[in-house]
Structures are given as structure tokens and as C-alpha cells.
């Protein structure tokens, strides 16, 4: 009796005959939509086999404006790689966050990425996922002197933009605009390492302008509403203010609303994140500058890291903590970033090119990516420095950090902001 080939087998066989990259990506999306999310075995360039897919969970606090743009990147790259994405929102509740992490094995997840809160929860989360053999990557928050190497191979990577650089560059633009002197209201976010890094950047810039007086230093929830509340108190306390440094664009939008109401529209304001509203405010002259964190790219970089680990990639030690690209944006560049990050077609990256397993020789980060030197990155928190894994000193002495830095620079061939 002739054996009948299953529908799934016919689909996989057809996919194996596809060699043109765009068609291969389209096949993966169609197969995923049909519920085929196992090892599809599609040929990558040069005949490489790398298409083990599956379920990936992302976990963030709430879907405010920053995470809305981040999720767009997540959706785009998971579609391109044929992955099934699942959303979890922890609402900055540590107990809920850990509970969600513990539920990942029951949900059949193979990969898990997201924003931890607080940063001290990372070791526990990583251990749970390591024990469950689920590949993990986190962003933004991370405890000082801790590293993925302290956990195991399933904790693939920590990544973040350089927040000290972001705070420094936007603050410097603001201080120069007001002539290097006067009161500048500084409005913070939540007390996290990222907030501390951005503040360190602002202080670094202020040290170059002795005439600048930073005032306020009030906390918010990283959103427009609490940014507005903070600014209402600041215009009363400091009516002679010359400018405002908002720790992110959402806070800046609340600040701008208050300044508009009080007839202070000419007061310069800067922010961080480079969200669509922030870029439009820069274009319209409402904001002086912002610093883009490239949220869609961030998500794609994280997804690709765990996807590649699932498919056999083993990152070197320096690759397990990485800086992703960010960029200072002023009126001269705002339209370019608005078009290439937030246009109708979405962020202008070739998502599958990020994958080292789909493109063993031709992978392209499409952005400036550099390894994080923990001795520099965590210097703001000198306590417990002796806890840093000794493997880092060995890797630095062996030139591994220089090698990885050169590797990513050499592979950076294309991308929307390749100058």
C-alpha cells in the first residue's frame, strides 16, 4: 500500500526547495501561520541548516508608548523567523513577574525575552529559565557585576543602549542652547540602573558647564502624566528655569504640556528614546533634541539572539553583554529617523540578516553594536566589584573584547543609518 505524504511533510519538502532569501522568509511565515513551528530545516545561504522555531515570550511592564514601538519590532522579526510570539505584562509587580517566568515551561516556550523589574530579580529569573532550558535575553535593567556567565548557556545575553552616552549628549545640546548657564530642571524616571546611567551622563555634561545649576531631580513613572505632575511643581518652585532635561520622551511630553499652558513655549526641552511623538516635537521646534534607542531594532536584536542560540550559536563571553546602537536626534536628523523607524513599512531593517545561524558568513547587525566592558559599565556602582566573574579579566587579557568589537564593525555592511 502506497504511503501518503502528510500535508506538513509536503510543505517542508517544498520549503527545502526554496533558496532565494525573500521566498524562504515568506515560506517560514506561511508555515508558522499553518501551525508548523517545529524544526523546519530550511537551507540558509551556503546550504546551512538553521530553522528550529517555536514559541517565544516577551515580558515588559506595561505597553506605554516606548513598548508599543518595541513590540512592532518584535512582531516583525518573529514573523520573519516563523516564531510564535506570546505577550506577558508584569506591571512592575515583582511577584507577578516571577510567577509569569515560572509559567513559561507549561506554556511550551523555547525562548523568553524582556524587561526585568527590579534589576535584582534577574538572577532568579535567569536561574528558573536555565533550569527549564529556555533561552533568555533581557534588556535595560541588570544588576551590577552580575553576568550571564554566572548562570549558564541558556542565559544568552543582556543588551542595552549606552544610557550614560544618551544623557550626556542630549544634556550637552541643552546646555549649549541656553549659553552654558542658568537653572535646568532635571526630571527622573523610576529608580533603576538605566535612570542612574542617564543621570550620570547629565552630570558629566554639567561638569563641562560650571554655570549650569541642576534643580528638581524629581521622580516619575516614566510617563506623560507623572511628567506633567512633576513639571507643575517645578514651574512653581523655579519660575526662573532656563531649560528642562526629561529622562525620557514620555516625561518630556508632560513637561511640554505644562510649558505650553504657562506661556513658556520657548523654554528648551530635551528627552531620551526618540519615539514618534518626540521626533515630531523636535521637527516642530517644541523639543530641542532627543536620543533614539531604536526600540524596534532592540526587540529584533533580542529575538535573534535567543533564536540563534536555539539553533546552535554559542556567543563568546564579550557577546553576552552588548551595547545596541542609539543616536542623538536634532531638527536636522529628526525627519530621517521618523521615516526610517516609524514609516508605514515599519523600521527599515532586514530582520533575517541579523541571524548568524541563517547567514553564517553574511550576517549583518545593521547597526553599531559593541561589547560591554563590565569594569566601565558598572563603575557607577563600585560596591561588590569583586563579584565580577573572573572570566572577564581573562577574556580582556586575551584580546577577546577587541576581537568582538572588530567582528561586529566588520560585519556591519548595511542598515538604515549606515553612514
pLDDT tens digit sequence for 150-201: 999 999 999 999 999 999 999 999 999 999 999 999 999 999 999 999 999 9
- Is residue 36 assigned to a domain? no
Residues 239 and 174 in one domain: yes
CA distance linking residue 364 with residue 348, whole number of Å: 14
Q: How far apart are the first and last CA of the chain?
A: 63
| Domain end call among 277, 292, 307 | 292
How is residue 417 annotated by DSSP?
T
Q: Is 97 found in the same domain as 136?
A: yes
Query: In terms of residue numbers, what domain contains 378?
Result: 50-160+295-411
Number of domains in the chain: 2
| pLDDT tens, residue by residue, 370-417 | 999 999 999 999 999 999 999 999 999 999 999 999 999 999 999 999
Give the per-residue pLDDT at 64. Answer: 85
Residue where a domain stops, chosen among 274, 292, 310: 292
Please indicate, yes or no, whether residues 286 and 171 belong to a single structural domain of this protein. yes
pLDDT digits (tens, 9 = 90+) for 35-88: 444 444 444 433 334 469 999 999 999 998 899 999 999 999 999 999 999 999
Give the number of residues written for the chain: 419
pLDDT tens digits, residue range 213-254?
999 999 999 999 999 999 999 999 999 999 999 999 999 999
Residues 281 and 212 in one domain: yes
Please give the grid coordinates belonging to residue 38: 517545529
Query: Residues 347-368: what's their mean pLDDT?
Result: 97
Mark which of 292, 325, 344 sits at the end of a domain: 292
Same domain, 62 and 123: yes
Quick one: how far is CA 99 from the chain centroid?
Answer: 23
On whether both 277 and 331 belong to a single domain, the answer is no
- Same-domain pairing of 146 and 184: no
What's the CATH number where 193 sits? 3.40.50.2300
Are residues 308 and 394 located together in one domain of the fold? yes
Other CB atoms closer than 10 Å to residue 214's CB: what's the count? Answer: 16
Residue 63 is placed in which grid cell?
A: 505597553
Grid cell digits, residue 163: 544610557
**65-81 vs 295-310: helix crossing angle, rounded to 10:** 40
Same domain, 115 and 187: no
Shared domain check, 129 and 92: yes
**How far apart, in whole angstroms, are the C-alpha atoms of residue 241 and residue 235?**
8
d(CA 346, CA 349): 9
Query: What is the CB neighbour count within 10 angstroms for residue 351?
Result: 24
The answer to whether 25 and 354 have CB atoms below 8 angstroms apart is no
Q: How confident is the model at residue 1 (pLDDT cuts 50, 70, 90)?
A: very low
Amino acid at each position: 500500500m502506497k504511503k501518503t505524504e502528510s500535508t506538513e511533510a509536503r510543505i517542508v519538502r517544498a520549503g527545502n526547495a526554496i533558496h532565494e532569501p525573500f521566498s524562504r522568509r515568506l515560506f517560514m511565515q506561511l508555515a508558522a501561520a499553518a501551525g508548523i513551528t517545529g524544526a523546519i530545516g530550511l537551507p540558509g545561504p551556503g546550504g546551512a541548516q538553521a530553522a528550529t522555531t517555536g514559541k517565544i515570550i516577551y515580558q515588559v511592564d506595561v505597553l506605554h508608548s516606548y513598548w508599543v514601538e518595541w513590540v512592532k519590532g518584535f512582531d516583525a522579526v518573529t514573523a520573519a523567523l516563523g516564531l510564535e510570539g506570546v505577550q506577558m505584562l508584569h506591571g512592575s509587580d515583582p511577584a507577578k513577574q516571577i510567577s509569569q517566568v515560572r509559567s513559561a515551561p507549561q506554556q511550551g516556550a523555547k525562548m523568553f525575552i524582556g524587561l526585568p523589574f527590579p534589576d535584582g530579580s534577574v538572577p532568579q529569573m535567569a536561574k528558573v529559565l536555565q533550569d527549564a532550558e529556555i533561552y533568555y535575553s533581557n534588556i535595560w535593567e541588570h544588576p551590577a557585576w552580575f553576568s550571564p556567565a554566572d548562570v549558564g548557556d541558556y542565559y544568552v545575553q543582556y543588551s542595552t543602549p549606552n544610557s550614560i552616552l544618551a544623557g550626556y549628549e542630549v544634556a550637552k545640546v541643552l546646555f549649549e542652547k541656553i549659553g552654558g548657564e542658568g537653572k535646568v530642571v532635571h526630571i527622573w524616571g523610576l529608580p533603576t540602573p538605566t535612570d542612574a546611567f542617564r543621570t550620570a551622563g547629565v552630570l558629566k555634561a554639567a561638569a563641562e558647564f560650571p554655570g549650569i545649576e541642576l534643580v528638581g531631580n524629581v521622580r516619575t513613572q516614566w510617563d506623560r502624566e507623572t511628567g506633567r505632575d512633576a513639571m507643575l511643581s517645578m514651574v512653581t518652585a523655579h519660575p526662573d528655569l532656563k531649560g528642562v532635561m526629561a529622562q525620557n520622551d514620555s516625561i518630556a511630553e508632560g513637561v511640554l504640556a505644562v510649558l505650553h499652558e504657562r506661556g513658556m513655549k520657548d523654554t528648551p526641552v530635551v528627552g531620551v528614546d526618540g519615539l514618534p511623538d518626540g521626533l515630531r516635537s523636535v521637527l516642530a521646534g517644541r523639543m530641542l533634541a532627543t536620543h533614539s534607542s531604536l526600540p524596534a531594532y532592540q526587540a529584533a536584536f533580542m529575538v535573534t539572539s535567543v533564536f540563534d542560540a536555539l539553533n546552535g550559536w554559542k556567543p563568546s563571553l564579550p557577546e553576552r553583554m552588548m551595547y545596541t546602537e542609539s543616536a542623538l536626534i536634532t531638527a536636522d536628523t529628526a525627519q530621517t529617523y521618523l521615516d526610517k523607524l516609524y514609516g508605514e513599512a515599519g523600521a527599515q531593517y532586514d530582520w533575517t540578516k541579523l541571524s548568524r545561524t541563517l547567514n553564517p558568513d553574511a550576517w549583518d547587525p545593521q547597526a553599531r553594536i559593541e561589547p560591554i566592558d563590565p569594569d566601565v559599565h558598572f563603575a557607577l556602582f563600585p560596591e561588590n566589584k569583586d563579584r565580577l566573574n573572573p572570566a572577564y579579566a581573562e577574556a580582556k587579557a586575551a584580546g577577546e573584547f577587541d576581537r568582538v568589537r572588530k567582528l561586529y564593525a566588520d560585519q556591519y555592511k548595511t542598515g538604515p543609518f549606515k553612514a
